[in-house]
Structure 1
């Protein structure tokens, strides 16, 4: 069952590529027999005219059926409102800390006991 689904999905994905694949496989036949510009070799068409026709047919068949119908879409915004019956205001009291943390220590110090280095004069 899974294999069948994979094959079907693969075929749907590969459907737009089929005209190109057919062009590659039948290149010699298309250039010699089906090319519309055989009389004009300076155009170097090499059957690309036939490929373009086949790609146009494939894309024409891919248009959805509902594209012929005019469909109007409308959007509505739904808003639900609930009336407030009561409003409670709660006062939160946070204790104010007035004491300073005595355990804080400033361990940074600057020692300026060494004199600044001066290069020798010449």
Structure 2
């Protein structure tokens, strides 16, 4: 996809650099000045040719679908091993936690009330 974008950028860049030459020599509609094509037909034709070849290549390719997740037996064995452990019954929590719904704010400084 990025190669296609680079090619289109190259064609557009070539068109911008050589506008006068393309309008005078390569333009299909140079005999019809009322259309005021100025070489845009050349640009359109080159971009369309590249799009046709890219779509033809894309249709010829086989698409391969890759699964996003594969479940294996190794994963389930690891989970069983990790969950089996021995707890120490003599260990106790030494701290206590009490939840308070308000936040403590210290008193204001008396200098700010001046």
* Normalised TM-score (structure 2): 0.49
Bigger RCO (CA 8 Å, 6+ sep): 1
Structure having the larger proportion of residues in helix: 2
User: Higher Cα Rg: structure 1 or 2?
Assistant: 1
* Normalised TM-score (structure 1): 0.47
